[in-house]
């Protein structure tokens, strides 16, 4: 009996994930109503629940894909994977205002450069405070503070040690998770309630998954604007961190 | 037809991803540069054009609105497959670097949002599916 059940789940992975996510959202909205009187958005609670599930999934399996590493929940990997995520992000642009995007072009571009540089500098300074002094390690950890993709790309390009690359990935993951969880709570203090500030926010934070989750939990109407700039960030980071930012770091610490 | 809207999304995403890859090759890095962002721009421009010419019927729009409404559930599935364990295993350096980068970036949002003229407001058109997302109950 148990085998039949688990086979059914494994064979219908994507369908299982629809059901799990649906139930998770349903419970999250009940919690949002009953415990917080709707003060904390149901989506925000659902994202936190998702992260908790991912933690336990990782704990039980030792894998890298959270809940998706558990056989019967493998469909989560398809539903929440890059392909469908990007597809849904693009779909949110249906209804975004062309004029707003045009108006925010300049602040958007400035925020991208500022976002990459500021995160990189912070990462470098903290790595230095922890006793790293060689420019390769410093730059790799700085790049990790940008996103968890820029970190390893930079580390491999510069020939950093695997331990340092792992650190850079962890820093990027922390950034992504905190952005997901924290954004709805700070939104009103940073004026994140209109398309322009969302475009700037996407450029500054830059972690596609963090921005995607953070804005979803804040106000779904902001999603297309923030996601649009965020998707340029990793590319820009991969361009700048191993080259110009590394050279500057080497000049200062080398 | 619903599929027309879905196919339009798919074509935009593929075109954007392809351009993003080419852009990456052009500047010599092993990464997709803004593929999704480019796809979104293409979609916005296409929808704008099609609507002006009355080429986008309600059914086609529903195809896009559905995927727009599926965005939040997909993001939750995305959260459920993050490598949370690795993030927490990174120790104090990774934790501090990640947290500091986020906090300082947040603090800069209001500063940079004031660049440019005029106020920023949402368009009159509702986003596909925001209502459905919000009134889940």
Structural contact between residues A123 and B101, judged by C-beta atoms closer than 8 angstroms: yes
pLDDT tens readout for residues A23-78: 999 999 999 999 888 778 888 899 999 999 999 999 999 888 889 999 889 999 99
Which candidate from A20, A87, A104 shows the least CB-CB separation from B120? A104
Instruction: For residue A93, give how far its alpha carbon lies from the nearest alpha carbon of chain B (Å).
Output: 6
Give dist(CA B109, CA B120) in Å, integer: 14
Comparing CA positions, the residue from A53, A45, A181, A6 lying closest to residue B81 is: A53
Residue B81 CB-density burial (10 A; 0-12 exposed, 13-18 middle, 19+ buried):
buried
Chain A 75-94, residues with CB within 8 Å of chain B CB atoms: 76-77, 79-81, 84-94
Q: DSSP H helical segments within A62-207, as ranges?
A: 75-79, 82-92, 98-103, 105-129, 135-144, 150-158, 162-186, 195-205
pTM above 0.85, yes or no: no
* Those residues with Cβ within 8 angstroms of residue B77's Cβ, 6 or more apart along the chain or in another chain: A17, A21, A50, A76, A79, A80
Q: What share of chain B is helix, strand, coil (3-state, %, to 5)?
A: 70, 0, 30
pLDDT tens readout for residues B70-94: 999 999 999 999 888 888 888 899 9
In chain A, residues with a C-beta closer than 8 Å to the C-beta of B126 are 95
CA angle (A66 as vertex; A65, A70 as ends), nearest 5: 90
Torsion angles phi and psi, residue B92, rounded to 5:
-65, -35
Q: Residue A113's Cα: distance from chain center in Å?
A: 18
pLDDT tens readout for residues A119-176: 999 999 999 999 999 999 999 999 999 999 899 989 988 888 888 998 999 999 999 9
Where does the pLDDT of residue B28 fall: very low under 50, low under 70, confident under 90, or very high at 90 and above?
confident
Comparing CA positions, the residue from A227, A197, A201, A176 lying closest to residue A51 is: A176
Give dist(CA A71, CA A150) in Å, integer: 30
Give dist(CA A129, CA A123) in Å, integer: 10
User: Residue range B92-108: average pLDDT?
Assistant: 94
Domain ranges of chain B: 1-82, 83-117
What does pLDDT average to over chain A?
91
In chain A, residues with a C-beta closer than 8 Å to the C-beta of B113 are 107, 191, 196-197, 200
Which candidate from A24, A90, A110 shows the least CB-CB separation from B40? A90
Q: What is the torsional sign of CA A61, A64, A68, A74?
A: negative
Domain ranges of chain A: 2-80, 98-253
Helix (H, G, I), strand (E, B) or coil at A104: coil
What pLDDT does residue A56 have? Answer: 94
Give dist(CA B47, CA A29) in Å, integer: 33
Structural contact between residues B28 and A150, judged by C-beta atoms closer than 8 angstroms: no
Structural contact between residues A68 and B17, judged by C-beta atoms closer than 8 angstroms: no
Give dist(CA B34, CA A208) in Å, integer: 10
Helix (H, G, I), strand (E, B) or coil at B30: coil
């Amino acid at each position: 009996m148990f085998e039949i059940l688990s086979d059914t789940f494994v064979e219908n992975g994507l369908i299982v994930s629809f059901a799990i996510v649906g139930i998770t959202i349903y419970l999250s909205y009940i919690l949002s109503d009953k415990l917080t009187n709707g003060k904390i958005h149901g989506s925000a609670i659902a994202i936190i629940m998702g992260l908790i599930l991912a933690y336990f999934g990782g704990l039980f399996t030792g894998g890298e894909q959270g809940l998706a590493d558990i056989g019967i929940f493998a469909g989560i990997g398809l539903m929440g994977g890059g392909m469908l995520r990007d597809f849904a992000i693009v779909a949110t642009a249906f209804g975004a205002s062309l004029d707003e995007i045009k108006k925010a072009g300049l602040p958007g571009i400035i925020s991208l450069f500022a976002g990459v540089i500021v995160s990189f500098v912070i990462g470098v300074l903290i790595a230095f405070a922890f006793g790293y002094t060689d420019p390769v390690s410093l730059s790799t950890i700085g790049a990790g503070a940008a996103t968890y993709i820029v970190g390893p790309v930079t580390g491999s390009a510069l020939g950093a040690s695997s331990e340092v690359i792992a650190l850079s990935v962890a820093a990027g993951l922390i950034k992504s998770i905190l952005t997901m969880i924290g954004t709805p709570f700070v939104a009103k203090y940073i004026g994140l309630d209109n398309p322009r500030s969302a475009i700037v926010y996407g450029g500054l934070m830059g972690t596609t998954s963090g921005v995607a989750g953070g804005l979803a939990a804040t106000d779904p109407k902001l999603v297309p604007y923030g996601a649009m700039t965020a998707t340029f960030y990793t590319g820009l980071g991969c361009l700048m961190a191993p080259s110009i930012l590394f050279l500057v770091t080497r000049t200062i610490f080398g | 037809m619903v599929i027309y809207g879905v196919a339009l999304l798919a074509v935009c995403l593929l075109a954007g991803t392809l351009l993003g890859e080419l852009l990456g090759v052009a500047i010599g890095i092993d990464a997709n540069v803004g593929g999704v962002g480019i796809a979104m721009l293409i979609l916005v421009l296409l929808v704008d054009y099609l609507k002006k010419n009355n080429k986008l019927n309600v059914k086609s729009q529903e195809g896009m609105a559905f995927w727009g409404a599926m965005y939040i559930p997909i993001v939750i599935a995305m959260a459920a497959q993050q490598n949370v364990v690795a993030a927490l295993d990174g120790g104090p350096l990774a934790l501090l670097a990640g947290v500091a980068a986020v906090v300082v970036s947040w603090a800069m949002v209001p500063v940079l949002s004031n660049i440019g003229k005029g106020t920023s407001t949402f368009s009159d058109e509702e986003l596909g599916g925001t209502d459905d997302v919000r009134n889940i109950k």
